[in-house]
Amino acid sequence: MPSFQQIWERVSFLAALDILLVAALIFWLLGVIRGTRAVQLLRGVGILVVVALLAGSTLPLTTLRWIIREALSPALFVAIPILFQPELRRALESLGRTGEWFNRFGSTNRSDVEEMINTISRAAKQLSQQGIGALMVIERDTGLQEYADRGVIVDSRISVPLLVNIFFPNAPLHDMAVIFRRNRILAANCVLPLSENVVGSTRYGTRHRAALGISEQSDAISVIVSEETGSISITHDGRMVRHLTEGRLRKLLAGLLRVELSEEEEA
* 210 part of the interface to ligand ATP, by CB under 6 A: yes
Query: Please, which residue, 133 or 238, has the CB nearer to ligand ATP?
Result: 133
Is residue 180 within the footprint of ligand ATP (CB under 6 A)? no
Under rule CB under 6 A, residue 133 binds ligand ATP: yes
Q: Please state, in angstroms and rounded to a whole number, the distance separating the CA atoms of residues 217 and 202.
A: 21
Is residue 233 within 8 A of residue 242, CB to CB? The reply is yes
List the one residue from 11, 50, 191, 198 that touches ligand ATP (CB under 6 A).
Answer: 191
- Smallest CA-to-CA distance from 224 within 238, 237, 242 is with 242
Q: How far is the CB of 147 from ligand ATP (least distance, A)?
A: 9
Burial 3-38 (b: 16+ CB within 10 A, else e): eeeeeeeeeeeeeeeeeeeeeeeeeeeeebbeebbb
Cβ pair 189, 207 in contact under 8 A? no
Q: Is 194 in the site for ligand ATP (CB under 6 A)?
A: yes
* Region from 59-67, 108-116, 206-214, 233-241 binding ligand ATP, contact rule CB under 6 A: 206-214
Which of 181, 208, 236, 250 is the binder for ligand ATP (CB under 6 A)?
Answer: 208
- Choose which of 40, 156, 206, 262 interacts with ligand ATP (CB under 6 A): 206
Cα separation, 26 vs 35, in Å, equals 16
Interaction between residue 226 and ligand ATP (CB under 6 A): yes
Asked whether position 127 contacts ligand ATP by CB under 6 A, the answer is: no
- Do 157 and 184 form a contact (C-beta atoms < 8 A)? yes
Interface with ligand ATP (CB under 6 A), residue total 17
Give the one residue of 177, 187, 252, 259 binding ligand ATP; rule: CB under 6 A: 177
**147 contacts ligand ATP (rule: CB under 6 A):** no
Query: Which range binds ligand ATP by CB under 6 A, 42-50, 101-109, 174-182, 195-203?
Result: 174-182
According to the binding rule CB under 6 A, does residue 228 interact with ligand ATP? Answer: yes
What b/e string do you get for 211-230 counting C-beta neighbours within 10 Å, with b at 16 or more? bbbbbbbbbbbbbbbbbeee
Among 227, 241, 248, 261, binds ligand ATP (CB under 6 A): 227
Distance, CA of 266 to CA of 247 (rounded, Å): 8
Euclidean distance between CA atoms 257 and 190, whole angstroms: 22
**216, amino acid identity:** E
Stretch that binds ligand ATP, among 49-57, 152-160, 202-210, 251-259 (CB under 6 A): 202-210
* Spatial contact of 241 and 222, defined as CB atoms under 8 Å apart: no
Per CB under 6 A, residues contacting ligand ATP are 133, 135, 175-177, 191-192, 194, 204-208, 210, 226-228
